[in-house]
Structure 1
């Protein structure tokens, strides 16, 4: 033990003395010109180092620099700028006068990916081949970077003519080996228009064939979205996939995609190209897709006994810029989307076996297929969505088969005053793709039919029986369990918020009806008149005939939350009896006049 301790002390003294001598003998500023030269030879970028370079020996042998910047050829602003930079170097290569950088660390840096920081080459200047290798240095120096670390920095991203996005708290750690196999960890957040997004990424990258090819995978990408126009609980999820990039053809491919968003889960693949025009093809499958948990304007059903909650809104700091189709990336993108969802939730509706096949050609979207099962019924809504103009133009051909009416009314934000099933076939068009826009600005026509239709809190048969009983006790009808309309059909027209029904014809047990009317979706007013004919009466033959043959007008009108109605049974019976009395009186007068005429003729013919 006595010999070990002195030996370790001697080794420590030697190491410290060696490092001290190395620091004293090797001036880090000797590497300045070489680093600038190598960066420019390998990338064409200009590296500017301000101030003297200095050693930092603990816990890692490092070179510290002052303010630095990295600028692309012809660019107005640097791509990277930082107040300081640290280069962790390998010790043994320094002994042979070589610079081997194990890690480059930037802190509080600003990274610009903007048009001002992009490379701008002079016109009519010949360019060498893209895969040309940089000339090897003649002085025997070597330059190698194994790790890049960016901490607490800012990334500014902007497309030409587009908005600027600031990614704050940007942290990146990239490590690569001699075979260009790299591992990446990244975290950042973005705040814009009172919305906040955070991202954390772990992945791997194969850059052995760069710039011709890149491949890699995202092992885990965790994200959160919160703020204005997002669900109160926010949107949280993860993403993973394997991807490849072909630099020669500007093409990419994604496989094994797994995406979660709140309680929605999707998988699939994608491929596309960044060559003009950009192209993207998506093929996705969702085991569950809850759109109501992802969209803030989803309809919510308020059950019995529930109360409306008062939600405190965040103060508006600045008005958000009005959205325009000019901002949409779909105007410059060719998109093909295929989506299958085993189960989906939209505005309170459960959609099963949802199928979507859509394409976009630079702003003109074709909904080739949008169909699925809705309860015991089905739906299909093909059409087009045109965003090439400032206002979105929508044309749809909806078809419904045996769809339950009540949940459909709830999804559209209308009173759930009808029960039954509806079938519909028609065409609608208008501006803007939303339920509110459809109720306000769309127009179109459709053929509509309904089965087992019931009006909430209104029993037509019972209403007529009670009205007849108040007028006369000479007729009656038997009570039955049937309270609605077995079948009704007609035409419906939508014109800027006014829904008009024409040629309504229907029937039920002991019931036949005809009618028409209109509903104002904006003013929440209705005015509908149904001509009701009932059979199954017994009693006075004249009254039975009057009730069976004469249509009784039922008019429903007013605000749909407080509907009023008129059912003038007494007037119908009175008018019918008066008309019948007048008819019999006229017949009696005609008979009397005929008898008088015959009597006068006999008097004239007497001798």
Structure 2
């Protein structure tokens, strides 16, 4: 046994002595010409080693190289593709005896890489693979057996990949840097400092990794640092990470990231990773602070990616926002199916402050992504969200508060209608379809409940398939379409409103209460162009209205009848002024739209004691009104007006409606009243003759006076 030990010890001693002699006798610097020549032959580039090549002997065979430069061809901005201040590597001696290549720590100091693309597309990486001559073996005149020659019988060639075990003690990259310059694209990316420390690279063990880097791309500067542990596997795809922690910053004229943080407990194929992240920064005038968590799982085939339990919250601050401060949140699960290129969102809950939407959605990735969704919201109050009408108080007048009379308001000059068409080109790149349910929706003070909307946008064509809602004790249903593939765009809308309580709707929408009752509206409209001017000038179709059991506020037709009666008698109406309101049991009309006008020939109003018929038009562009209304008194003393208007039974009274939408006018046409009603004319003549007799006495019977009086009466009635 001792002999065997002595023999082994002798062999080891022999190896040690041999290596010692090798290190002592052979100077590695003598190999510089050979190394540079081989590099030149293989790559066509020059390798310069200005420093020494040295090695050490024990306990590991170490090698170091200083001042190494791998040259660029002429015409590039920097002379070197790669430069290196110093490189060190060592190999353990004893493991070599057992077919183990145990490489120690590999250290690189001051490494710099420069890559450039010239304006013509040429790069300093071109041609590094070498030509056929470099790849072809040298002519050895038969001294080496051909590669195809089979080994002698009884010998088995060793497979280096299986015969040797290779281990690397680690990698240390100190003060490295890199520059990537693209003159064709006009970009420059730089890594000014990179430090990387990797522990012993050995399969089956957790290897610590630490890095820090800083650099810039054009005007954008960045920093990053992080730590993790990696377990390497012979099957690289099965490698894992754990205890990942990365932080970063970014500074750009338009974007500043004060802090970015990403953590993960573990990561790997078919291993769930719990990820946390936070980002704080500013984009132009918008400040944001985002944080979130999620669980990431990638299956063995890498075709299924699931992100479960996403919970992201963002605080926004900026003057361009609808509110100075806003909170945005997102929760849900995301699944990606690579086989069908589909992303699915489930259990979605998204909120912007108090506006909350939940539901599901999916996206099929294609040349135009196909988006499908089914969403729901309990309440959306646009007015409250935008700080609109709800709860707003009228502005105070400083003069009025000091006891002075307020100055009369001057109506603002109406701005001309815009004829600029909206840009709808984005619709051509959309494929969206879905359904939205909103339990309560408030906008412009109008409240709508139980809203169901289904619509689709497909390559420039939008379709409103369904819009159903409850509106002030009634219902509304609408469908429509928009074709943005033509210019200007074309549209079509059908809308049916039933049994809507009109007055609270008008009060909420326009702060007007001139009309009350139960309203039904049936609209069938189409048009070309969506600019403000073309919407009014180019719209065509019909709007049929049917209101019941209501009133028209602002005009009291029975009161006007009493004024007419008093006028006929040459007296002033003696009565207490009533509210300017005309009750009706039915108000109907059909408006025809076209040429910038909305006109009707069948306006009808049926009220107690009176019947109203009318026709006319309103100019949608100038916003003017021109209607002729004829009121007839029916034979009844009941209802509004009572006995005071019985005497005008079967008399037609014309009223002219004019003015503008903002300031409508109502006038009793006295001349038309008298000339169109013979009974009234006869009564008026008698009253006029009686008045002349009282005024002129006996002279009233004079023929000349009678002729003058007759001319005056004819002028009054004709």
TM-score normalized with structure 1 length: 0.65
Q: Tell me if 1:149 matches 2:246.
A: yes
| 96 and 258 in structure 1: CA distance in 2 versus 1, 3 angstrom threshold | closer
Residue among 531, 554, 558 paired with 2:659:
558
SS state at 2:383 partner: helix
Decide which moves more: 340-349 or 447-456.
Answer: 447-456
In 1, the alpha carbon distance for the partners of 2:218 and 2:621 equals 51
Aligned-residue CA RMSD in angstroms?
5.1
Per-residue deviation, 1:245: 0.6
Match of 2:586 in 1: 487
Q: 1:29 aligns with which of 100, 108, 124?
A: 108
Give the one of 376, 379, 382 matched to 2:479. 382
Q: How far apart are 1:492 and its partner, in Å?
A: 1.2
Partner residue of 2:80? none
Verify the 8 A CA contact 2:242 2:266 in the aligned structure 1: no
Residue of structure 2 in register with 1:185 after alignment: 277
Question: Cα deviation per residue 1:354-382 (whole Å; 9 max; x = unaligned)?
Answer: 00111222221211111100110111111
Q: Tell me the CA shift for residue 294 of structure 1.
A: 5.3
**How big is the shift at 1:464?**
2.2
Please, which moves more after superposition, 443-452 or 183-192?
183-192
Paired residues of 1:107 and 1:153 also in contact (CA < 8 A): no
Instruction: Give me the whole-angstrom Cα distance separating, in 1, the residues matched to 2:215 and 2:517.
Output: 64
**Distance in 2 separating the partners of 1:486 and 1:371:** 28
2:468 corresponds, among 348, 351, 371, to 371
Q: Separation in 2 of the partners of 1:499 and 1:234? A: 45
Q: Is the 8 A contact 2:379 2:441 kept in 1?
A: yes
Looking at structure 1, the residues matched to 461 and 286 of structure 2 have their Cα atoms a distance apart, in angstroms, of 29
Q: Secondary structure at the match of 1:424?
A: strand
Rounded to whole Å, the distance in 2 between the matches of 1:478 and 1:399 is 42
Give 2:631's aligned residue: 532
Match in the other structure for 1:100: 207
Bigger mean CA offset, 505-514 vs 555-564: 555-564
Change (3 A) 1:189 1:430: farther
Task: Kindly state the Cα deviation for residue 500 of structure 1 after the two structures are TM-superposed.
Answer: 2.3
Structure 1 residue aligned with 2:562: 465
Change (3 A) 1:495 1:108: farther
Deviations 1:299-319 (A, max 9, x none): x4798855699xxxxxxxxxx
- 8 A contact 1:518–1:528 mirrored in 2: yes
The higher-RCO structure (CA 8 Å, 6+ apart) is 1
Q: Can you list the C-alpha shifts for 1:311-358, whole angstroms capped at 9, x where unaligned?
A: xxxxxxxxxx996222x2x42332221111111112221111000111
Q: What is the match of residue 286 of structure 1?
A: 377
Number of residue-to-residue matches in the alignment: 484
Does residue 445 (structure 1) correspond to residue 546 (structure 2)? The answer is: no
Shift of 1:272: 2.3
Does 2:614 correspond to 1:515? yes
TM-score (norm. length: structure 2): 0.56
Give the 3 Å change call, closer, same or farther, for CA 537–377 of structure 1 in structure 2: closer
1:362 aligns with 2:486: no
What are the within-5 Å matches in structure 2 for residues 30-49 of structure 1? none
Give the SS at the match of 1:484.
strand
- Give the distance between the partners of 1:304 and 1:535, measured in 2 at CA: 46
| Alignment match, 2:53 | none
Q: Distance in 2 between matches of 1:295 and 1:173?
A: 34
> Does the 8 A contact of 2:451 with 2:467 survive in 1?
yes
Matches within 5 A, 1:69-88: 82-87=191-196
CA distance in 2, matches of 1:96, 1:514: 96
Kindly indicate whether residue 363 of structure 2 is the aligned counterpart of residue 272 of structure 1. Answer: yes
CA shift, 1:555, in A, is 1.2
8 Å CA contact 1:107–1:152 kept in 2: the answer is no
Structure 2: how far apart are the matches of 1:224 and 1:468?
71
CA deviation vs aligned residue, 1:393-425 (integer Å, no higher than 9, x gap): 321101111223345446765855333332111
- Confirm or deny: 8 A CA contact 2:108 2:173 kept in the other structure: no
Given candidates 444, 466, 483, the residue that maps to 1:347 is 444
SS at match of 2:108: helix
Worse overlay, 239-248 or 436-445? 436-445
Q: Distance in 2 between matches of 1:69 and 1:293?
A: 53
Larger Rg: 2
Shift of residue 207 of structure 1? 2.8
Q: Where does structure 2 lack aligned partners over 5 or more consecutive residues?
A: 1-87, 91-103, 113-124, 126-170, 220-231, 399-419, 638-643, 687-718
1:171 aligns with 260
